[in-house]
Chains A and B, each alone.
Chain A
Amino acid sequence: MAVASISVSETPLVLYTLRLADDALILGHRLSEWCGHAPILEEDMALANMGLDLLGQARELYSYAAKVEAKGNDEDKLAYLRDVRQYRNLLLLEQPNGDFAQTMARQFFYSAFADLYWRAMMKSGDATLAAVAAKSEKESAYHLRHSSEWMVRLGDGTAESHARAQAAIDHLWAFTGEMFCTDAGERGLVDAGISVDPASLRSQWLRTVADVVGEATLDLPSSGWMQQGGRDGRHSEHLGHLLSELQSMQRTFPGAVW
């Protein structure tokens, strides 16, 4: 890596915005990895479309984080010049694509959350975040619909697709709890009416997830143990590999443009 990482002054609002931005970028990047590899051409396009929705969300959020921080960083520096420990995304979203069922289960768990979250965030007292939420809500609503339809078809499909879908749910379940966690800084933003307490969305999320998983003839794990760490920069080994690819160009040729 030829270029040093930047430092970011993480006030609560900057940190919070970076978390949302990192979620969108990392999941969007994961989806982009399917490009040219999806099971059918139609789904190749669907996955790329979802990835582009998320990349668009990430850009707006990074730009806003840079503006709030006001230290000369911009969206590109925040995306390309932060190291693994500076990334704040959910562990769920950096998990490898695995098979198609795993990609869809990851999308389904997250989109079921994001749809509720962005809808609630449309009432944010922060005008920029409320605007991002209004745009993102429509996108995540579609991501939820698409991934839900796939969960039903995989779960209630063949013995092979059922087994793969159940394995994906079992594997990813322990990463879903992190979506509903907050720290002291974020609770301050909740109290100020800038962000939404994700814990307040958990019961509705669980209802949505349980409905679809039930229709898919699949089971939700009974385990309540949940893995955390992504929000604080403690990641699984997978994120480093992802970033080394995502950042390689800017790290090798600093400031390269199209």
Chain B
Amino acid sequence: MATPNTPLWEVFIRSRNGLAHKHVGSLHAFDATMAVQAARDLYTRRGEGLSIWVVPSSAITASDPSDKGMMFEPAESKIYRHPTFYDVPDEVGHM
């Protein structure tokens, strides 16, 4: 039920300490405070999170879908950028 008075917000949840906030979805709310509360009620009901970020969807600058070829295809042929040609020592842990 979007109206001009209820802007859209993008929601990011951090599930554990040490992990990054991950985008989980979006919601409508009148302002940032209510957006955090709505995010809590919509996206952390099953214990998913320890921290919430909300960002006005209008603040996001997105890549242009029509630039897909130029933007992303050049990376596909450069498999040497994947760290698969050497062994990672166990001591390094999670990478």
Contacts and interface: CB of A to CB of B under 8 A. Distances in A.
Interface of A: 39-43, 45-46, 49, 142, 145-146, 149, 153
8 contacts: A42-B27, A42-B38, A43-B38, A45-B42, A45-B45, A46-B37, A49-B45, A153-B34
Contacts of A41: 1, 28
Nearest to A38: B1
Nearest to A146: B37
A46 B33 contact: no
Given A42-B38, A45-B41, A46-B41, A149 B27 contact: no
A46 B41 CA distance: 5
Chain A CB within 10 Å — which of B27, B34, B40, B45 has the most?
B34
B37 A145 contact: yes
Interface in B33-64: 33-34, 37-38, 40-42, 45
Nearest to B2: A40
A46 B37 CA distance: 8
Chain B interface size, under 10 / 10 to 19 / 20 to 34 / 35 or more: 10 to 19
B29 interface: yes
Contacts of A153: 30, 34
A141 to B, nearest CB: 13
Contact of B33 (A49, A142, A149): A149
Given A42-B42, A43-B38, A45-B45, 12 more contacts: A40-B28, A41-B1, A42-B27, A42-B28, A42-B41, A46-B38, A49-B41, A142-B40, A146-B37, A149-B34, A153-B30, A153-B34
Contacts of A43: 38
Contacts of B42: 42, 45
Nearest to A44: B41
A215 to B, nearest CB: 13
Contacts of A45: 38, 41-42, 45
Contacts of B30: 153
A-B pairs with lowest CB-CB distance, top 6: A42-B38, A46-B41, A45-B41, A49-B41, A42-B27, A45-B42
Nearest to A48: B41
Interface in B1-51: 1, 6, 27-30, 33-34, 37-38, 40-42, 45
B83 to A, nearest CB: 42
